[in-house]
């Protein structure tokens, strides 16, 4: 259960941003944001006025909301009653009302617009994204533990990888280990149309297959209907075996990638793996409060260029993606985005994955990914598993 | 791979609806709809003019789209170039342009509005929802096989349920069995904020816990951050053990619920289970082409009333949900909704789950759920597992 002081601090952060922009209220509607500001994840909307306590308008479950959420809870079953209920509660109706434009569907937006015909609607998603990008000591403690649990679970992985088994068969065993360690299963993503299921277990040339998702890899998946993640390909000697997995423990995401091989990794991939480690080391030396995200991307690209791997960096050719890292938290795709054009200064409390990776056509993918916390004094590794290439006996 | 004739039939269905409403084009943006109309699930938008072939505007992966999609494929990386590209292709810019208001975020809607400043935007989600609610012979064959695979996987379930193990520990084993049978893992839902992970494995009073999701049950889940599905409670003798599980094979969802017990089910739950079976039997006798969905809900409620279980039907007290069934397909929450006020006639080709269930406070939940196909001649069971209460030796 999230402590009230923690929720109050988050609400205050949102209210500060609202006041600076003359916004009278934000109506929080999306699951993750609801949980973040209210401590409960119910069928509800959280009305956050610029001044005063939030009110949770809840359809169900009200008993559950009452156990988890310190704010006033008002039963409601339709947006159209919101203005009346807000009035009942002594609040003036908002003239400027913020909504999460990045995640709420058009139908919900139009319903709110109809319910508040005199309000000017505006986009509150930047405020929420910025606020959530800085993790509190309370969150950092949860995320540290999540990182340890993920590393612990991954000590069981090498013994599950065997020549001749399919990607999917091995992935099913890894998923069971993660679940037995308390993995929540469901992975929340904020981006429209983004989907993810545990991880990308990709072997050999399957590591070169991109798809709809915003990441570097997709893999074969199981068919056109789910074109990412493990598929039917069987593991062979000398394959690069690439595991980009997400651990979700106590609600928080840990993103990490490790590379394994049964036998000997092809020279080009071994070289690419070394360059990826070099990029990671260089970025870590550069990261401190105030460093600009896009400068980190440029540094990474410089190293890729000097290594002769420009066309292979973060995808191949026209399918390259233009980032080298991203924030993680309650969702897998948070801020900051460490990307071309993302001119934001990193701040203490940010937690992000760095994932320099290279796609070598015909052979597969090599790279590393860890989740890091930026402290005042420097960077702390959250995904505490060793970075080495995992060599599996056969 | 979806055959071109199948995709053409779907596109024609959408175009018929567009023409009847003077809509010039629909821009399909959401994953499942993209896959349904194009055969590929990439980072793309499908432009469907009222007359002529669709065009897939694709960011990535273009090679993958080219293998799976028969329509013309045009590279693009931003909405703002859409009007130019549509013009290049010889199409007049749309005066009335349809979008999926039920699923696309406000930010995407505003970007399209900016790119097409002279177009009137309108909601195409009803057309797509109606069209997708009638499954083709091609889809029915895939769904029949999915039902058989799900039933086969569930023959392994009883031996996994053991006294003293936690819900989560048993669920982890069931998930592995499903995955080994080719379960896609990720479960697509259309409704805003809906989330689902494999199933609700709920024991004893955990079956009475509701939450944010639109279903009857939620369960304890693992904490406030994921308040549904299995939790830490350990299975006891005489517990109702409730498994509402979703199988996703070849992209299609099968929804089924079975009840198990180690020992003897408490009398009230046994009675409720019998009433649920009676509701199922009564509805099946009533269902034929032309029957109205809300009449089925009323029939179910009548039986619950006569059995003295009104307050327990589909939840308890104020947390009751007002439906008894829902369509399933590429998404878990499709049309028709068999619900109060849903005055739609059922048609051949519709595939839906019927799930009469009763929550008995303090004891748990009892009920049945199967997935059914409506043929011209009557109803066919898709989830071919026997309906009996599963008694597990101890």
Q: How confident is the model at residue A91 (pLDDT cuts 50, 70, 90)?
A: confident
* Residue B377 scores a pLDDT above 90: no
Q: Are residues B192 and B86 in the same domain?
A: no
End-to-end Cα, chain A, rounded Å: 46
Regarding whether A147 and A105 lie in a shared domain, the answer is no
Mean pLDDT of chain B: 97
CB-nearest partner of B41 from A39, A60, A212: A212
* Mean pLDDT, range B127-141, rounded to an integer: 98
Give CA–CA dist B210/B227, Å, rounded.
9
> Sign of the CA dihedral B186, B190, B193, B194?
negative
Whether residues B138 and B128 fall in one domain: no
CB < 8 Å & 24+ apart, contacts of B313-318: B313/B356, B313/B357, B313/B358, B314/B216, B314/B356, B314/B357, B314/B358, B314/B359, B315/B210, B315/B216, B315/B359, B316/B208, B316/B359, B316/B360, B316/B361, B318/A60, B318/A62, B318/A75
**Whether B60 contacts chain A with CB within 8 A:** yes
Nearest by CB to B31, from A42, A212, A214: name it: A212
| CATH number for the domain harbouring residue B295 | 3.90.230.10
Looking at every residue in chain A, the average pLDDT score rounds to 97
Domain of B206 in residue numbering reads as 134-391
Number of structural domains found in chain B: 2
Domain boundary pick from B117, B132, B147? B132
Q: Answer yes or no: is pLDDT of B300 > 90.
A: yes
Helix, coil or strand: residue A217:
coil
The predicted pLDDT at position B79 comes to 82
String of DSSP letters for A103-145: TSBHHHHHHHHHHSTTSEEEE-HHHHHHHHHB--HHHHHHHHH
Question: Is there a single domain that holds both residue B206 and residue B251?
Answer: yes
Note the helical H segments in chain B: 4-20, 31-38, 62-68, 82-88, 106-115, 125-133, 137-154, 167-180, 267-286, 293-306
Sign of CA dihedral A280, A217, B192, B102: positive
What is the rounded CA–CA span in Å between residue A262 and residue B227?
40
A269-293 pLDDT, tens per residue? 999 999 999 999 999 999 999 999 9
- A10-22 average pLDDT score: 98
State the pLDDT at residue A305: 98
Assess whether pLDDT exceeds 90 at residue B18. Answer: yes
- What pLDDT score was predicted for residue B232? 98
Which CATH number do you get for residue A117? 3.40.350.10
Phi and psi at A48, nearest 5°, equal: -110, 105
Residue carrying the six token digits 């830490």:
B232
Boundary (domain end) residue, out of B132, B153, B176: B132
pLDDT tens per residue, range B137-160 = 999 999 999 999 999 999 999 999
Q: Which of A110, A192, A224 sits opposite B108 (nearest CB)?
A: A192
Are B127 and B152 members of one domain?
no
Binary contact (A64, B209; C-beta < 8 A): yes
Q: List phi, psi (to 5°) of A299.
A: -60, -45
- Whether residue A98 contacts residue A299, with contact meaning beta carbons closer than 8 Å, is answered with no
Residues of B in contact with A104 (CB under 8 A): 105-106, 192
Q: Say what the pLDDT of residue A72 is.
A: 96
Q: Which residue is associated with the tokens 């998404």?
A: B331
**Residue A213 and residue A256 in one domain:** yes
State ipTM. 0.97
pLDDT of residue B4: 98
Are residues B31 and A193, on separate chains, in Cβ contact within 8 Å?
A: yes
What is the CB neighbour count within 10 angstroms for residue B111?
Answer: 16
Interface list for A 332-391 with B (CB within 8 A): none
Is A110 part of the contact surface with chain B (CB cutoff 8 Å)?
yes
pLDDT of A394 higher than 90:
no
Are residues B139 and B283 located together in one domain of the fold? yes
Residue A216 pLDDT class (50, 70, 90 cuts)? very high
Same domain, B174 and B275: yes
Query: Do B236 and B371 sit in the same domain of this protein?
Result: yes
pLDDT digits (tens, 9 = 90+) for A221-244: 999 999 999 999 999 999 999 999
Residues B112 and B169 in one domain: no
Residues 6 or more apart whose CB falls under 8 angstroms from that of A70 comprise A4, A7, A39
Question: Can you give the pLDDT at residue B253?
Answer: 98
In tens, the pLDDT along A67-79 reads: 999 999 999 988 8
Q: Decide if pLDDT at B90 tops 90.
A: no
Reference B218, options B205, B200, B231; nearest CA is: B200
| Nearest-angstrom CA–CA distance, A57 and A66 | 11
DSSP B226: B
The verdict on B159 and B114 lying in the same domain is no
Closest CA to A213 of B111, B64, B99: B64
Judged against a pLDDT cut of 90, whether residue A151 lies above it is answered with: yes
Q: What is the DSSP letter of B194?
A: -
How far, in Å, CA of A71 to CA of A159, rounded? 48
Q: Which pLDDT value is given to residue B180?
A: 98
The residues with which A46 forms a beta bridge, in sequence order, are A28, A56
Q: Does residue B234 sit in the same domain as residue B160?
A: yes
Give the tens place of pLDDT for each residue, B29-60: 999 999 999 999 999 999 999 999 999 999 99
Question: Which tokens in the block code for residue A192?
Answer: 């429209």
Q: Token pair 């099946």 is at which residue?
A: B284
Q: What is the pTM of this model?
A: 0.98
Q: Picking from A58-62, A83-87, B291-295, B350-354, which range would have the lowest pLDDT averaged per residue?
A: A83-87
Domain boundary among A132, A149, A176: A132
pLDDT recorded at residue A88: 87
Q: Which residues, 6+ apart, have CB-to-CB distance to B366 below 8 Å?
A: B240, B242, B259, B265, B269, B270, B272, B273, B276, B357, B358, B360
Residue B89 has pLDDT above 90, yes or no: no
Give me the mean pLDDT over the A192-201 stretch: 98
CA distance B352 to B143: 11
The answer to whether the CB atoms of B43 and A229 lie below 8 A apart is no
- How far CA B22 is from CA of A44, A323, A355, B81, B120, in Å, comes to 37, 43, 49, 25, 11
């Amino acid at each position: 259960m999230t402590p009230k002081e923690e929720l109050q601090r988050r609400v205050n952060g949102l209210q500060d941003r609202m006041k600076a922009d003359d916004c009278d209220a934000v109506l929080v509607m999306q699951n993750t944001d609801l949980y973040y500001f209210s401590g409960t994840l119910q069928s509800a909307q959280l009305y956050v006025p610029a001044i005063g306590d939030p009110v949770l308008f809840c359809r169900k479950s009200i008993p559950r909301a009452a156990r988890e959420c310190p704010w006033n809870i008002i039963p409601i079953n339709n947006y159209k009653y919101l203005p009346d209920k807000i009035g009942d509660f002594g609040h003036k109706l908002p003239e400027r009302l913020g909504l999460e434009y990045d995640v709420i569907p058009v139908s919900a937006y139009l319903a709110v617009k109809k319910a508040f015909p005199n309000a000017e609607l505006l986009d509150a998603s930047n405020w929420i994204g910025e606020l959530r990008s800085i993790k509190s000591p309370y969150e950092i403690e949860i995320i540290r533990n999540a990182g340890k649990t993920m590393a612990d679970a991954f000590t069981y992985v090498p013994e599950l990888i065997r020549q001749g088994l399919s990607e999917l068969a091995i992935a099913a065993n890894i998923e069971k280990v993660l679940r037995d360690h308390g993995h929540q299963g469901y992975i929340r993503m904020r981006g429209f149309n983004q989907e993810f299921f545990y991880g990308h277990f990709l072997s050999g040339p399957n590591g070169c297959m991109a798809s709809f998702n915003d990441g570097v890899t997709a893999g074969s998946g199981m068919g056109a209907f789910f074109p990412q993640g493990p598929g039917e390909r069987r593991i062979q000697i000398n394959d690069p075996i690439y595991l980009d997995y997400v651990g979700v423990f106590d609600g928080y995401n840990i993103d990490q990638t490790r590379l394994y091989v049964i036998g000997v990794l092809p020279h080009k991939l071994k070289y690419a793996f070394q360059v990826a480690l070099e990029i990671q080391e260089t970025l870590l030396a550069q990261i401190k409060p105030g460093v600009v995200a896009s400068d980190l991307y440029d540094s990474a690209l410089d190293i890729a260029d000097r290594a002769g791997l420009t066309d292979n960096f973060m995808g191949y050719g026209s399918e390259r993606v233009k980032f080298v890292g991203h924030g993680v938290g309650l969702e897998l795709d948070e801020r900051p985005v460490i990307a071309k054009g993302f001119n934001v200064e990193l701040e203490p409390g940010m937690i992000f994955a760095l994932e320099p990776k290279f796609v070598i056509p015909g052979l597969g993918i090599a790279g590393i990914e860890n989740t890091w916390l930026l402290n005042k004094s420097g960077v702390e590794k959250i995904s505490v598993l060793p970075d080495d290439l995992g060599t599996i006996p056969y």
